[in-house]
Structure 1
Amino acid sequence: MSNQLLPLVTAELAAPADPRAAAMAGALAAKYPDAARAVLFYGSCLREANLDGLMLDFYLIVSDYPAAYGRSWLARANALVPPNVFPFEHGGLIAKYAVLSEADFARLNSPAADNVSVWARFAQPSRLLWASDDLARQRAYAAVAQAAPTLLSLARPVAGDCPDVLDLWRTGFTCTYGAELRAERTGRSLSIVDADPDRYRRFGEAALADGLPPSPADAAGLWRRLQRRGKRLSVLRLAKASFTYAGGIDYLAWKINRHAGTRIVIKPWQRRWPLLGAITLLPRLLRGGAIR
């Protein structure tokens, strides 16, 4: 079997990023000196020249959850419903970061994942901005290299006979957007590929040349299960974030307003009881199509 995708993933992860984002990644790792293994930068901010006023997105990969949190309830919450998400500020920038163990990060990028949230993101461009040592770096490369084959193998039975590799990517992203509560407008899943078709063609052709994981016999049924589970997990993570993320409901409103063009204003009582406030928003947002 060839091995064409891993060098592409390695080069992309090792590519330069904004120095302020790199400094933020180092500061984030320093918060977890006994546990931090890698920090990855992903999301729309990778394409931005000016990061001021934006919310950066990081994944903090840790050795395990007890090492990160001690005996805190946060360790149990991270293991039961990964990841935990927290806010972070450094050098005048703001971010949110998700925490996963090395084992969970590898599993959730692979076909063994029971939801799309990790591999759907890391099939897209990202940067490895900090690693504790070479072993942590190589493990991060290997985990991320599973993401594109996972997406493409699940998309292939849905896409029909012999689609162009870019259509295969578009099918995969369209399916993943249906498996989460997303604030982005209709068509966002297609624009991901159209923003850099050369990258997706190279990565897709390399993954196909290497050989994809076996596609499921009942792909349509699997996607339905992923959609049901993804919606439930989105609500559970929202509930958990009301305890881990100060100002989380304001971030939720900002994210939805930015992507869906809405003008949601959070009321004082919703900040006082963010879990209840978020739950009361959900039916209206679903009815109005602000999230899907």
Structure 2
Amino acid sequence: MGELEKLIADELAQPVDPRVSDAASAIAALYPGARAVLFYGSCLRTGEIDGHMLDFYLIVRDYREAYGSRWLAWANRLIPPNVFPFERNGVAAKYAVLSDADFARLTGPGASTVSVWARFAQPVRLVWSADQDARRAAMDRVAQAPVTLLSLAPAGADLLDRWRRGFTLTYSAELRAERGDRPGSIVDWDPARYVRIGEAVAPPALYSDARWRRLRRTGKLMTLVRLAKASLTFAGGVDYLAWKINRHAGAGIVVKPWQRRHPLLGALILLPRLLRKGAVR
């Protein structure tokens, strides 16, 4: 095991609030062929759970095995991931479903969007796994993410600056509601962690303006497509979207009853308003 893999393995194994582990186990129990559940995002960084929505990725062996539904398996395979809400014992969460094959593909440098590797280049915890093979596979996929980010990031004044530039580019490649200083605050939350990981990566130089133009075009389009899909699979998805944007951008969005009855149409009508107001960009 190399230095990067050791660092990632140690990070994945760090303890979490028991409520997080309980939610992860309950999510895994819903799916035949579940392999791993990973916890990431702002609640991991801050440790805040009450009144917040936790973020998980559920890794499964095969979509058809996991769902037993052709429609959901097809949607997950065509436009990964599927996203679902979850609540247990007062803990609210959302979880994204990926097959192990898609997880490997989407954390690598050949991925057509940044959405998976940008998130897993940040701190992650492995909060449930089916067995030792599943743990090893999850570690391998997560370890690939920082390699991808730093490989595609332009050179900076120092290693932390390179991380910041990389995250800034990933935020530009999705429609995001977070404020403009968010990429830098991710690194500043634990700069020593990013130095350790960065020194162990020693990434090849793959930065290309043309590549990032493609990632931005594809990423913003896929954000819209995933939003439309989530409005069909995510109960209360329009309310969640409004809550997240109001929280990060202070947009004052109010969801109307008809938008809840017709979530796909409501989301598609809501988005242009948000773009005009600059709430997402």
Note the C-alpha offset of 1:213.
4.2
- Which residue of 2 is the match for residue 23 of structure 1? 22
What CA distance in whole angstroms lies between the structure 1 residues aligned with 2:155 and 2:214?
Answer: 18
Note the C-alpha offset of 1:25.
0.3
- Which residue of 2 is the match for residue 251 of structure 1? 240
What CA distance in whole angstroms lies between the structure 1 residues aligned with 2:158 and 2:51?
Answer: 38
What CA distance in whole angstroms lies between the structure 2 residues aligned with 1:122 and 1:286?
Answer: 27
Q: Counterpart of 2:148 in structure 1: which amino acid?
A: T
Note the C-alpha offset of 1:48.
3.2
Note the C-alpha offset of 1:44.
0.4
Equivalent positions of 1:119-130 (< 5 A) are 119-130=117-128
Identity score, percent: 65
Residues 36 and 129 in structure 2, CA contact (< 8 A), matched pair in contact too: yes
Note the C-alpha offset of 1:277.
1.0
Equivalent positions of 1:140-289 (< 5 A) are 140-155=138-153, 158-159=154-155, 163-208=157-202, 212-213=203-204, 215=206, 219-289=208-278
Residues 111 and 213 in structure 1, CA contact (< 8 A), matched pair in contact too: no
Quote the RMSD (CA, aligned, Å).
Answer: 1.2
Residues 121 and 146 in structure 2, CA contact (< 8 A), matched pair in contact too: yes
Greater CA deviation, 78-87 or 280-289?
280-289
Note the C-alpha offset of 1:52.
1.3
CA shift digits 1:39-71 (9 cap, x unpaired): 000000013344111100000000010111124
- Which residue of 2 is the match for residue 76 of structure 1? 74
Q: Which runs of 5+ in 1 are unaligned?
A: none
Note the C-alpha offset of 1:214.
5.1
Residues 117 and 146 in structure 2, CA contact (< 8 A), matched pair in contact too: yes
- 1:99 maps onto 2:97 in alignment: yes
| Secondary structure of 2:108's aligned partner | coil
| Secondary structure of 1:193's aligned partner | helix
Residues 151 and 206 in structure 2, CA contact (< 8 A), matched pair in contact too: yes
What CA distance in whole angstroms lies between the structure 1 residues aligned with 2:44 and 2:69?
Answer: 35
| Secondary structure of 1:145's aligned partner | helix
- Which residue of 2 is the match for residue 58 of structure 1? 56
- 1:6 maps onto 2:2 in alignment: no
Residues 86 and 98 in structure 1, CA contact (< 8 A), matched pair in contact too: yes
- Deviation beyond 3 Å, 4+ runs, structure 1: none
The number of residue pairs the alignment matches comes to: 281
Q: Normalising by the residue count of structure 1, what TM-score does the alignment of the two structures yield?
A: 0.94
Q: Counterpart of 2:155 in structure 1: which amino acid?
A: A
What CA distance in whole angstroms lies between the structure 2 residues aligned with 1:129 and 1:93?
Answer: 15
What CA distance in whole angstroms lies between the structure 2 residues aligned with 1:147 and 1:173?
Answer: 12
Residues 45 and 189 in structure 2, CA contact (< 8 A), matched pair in contact too: no
What CA distance in whole angstroms lies between the structure 2 residues aligned with 1:19 and 1:267?
Answer: 36
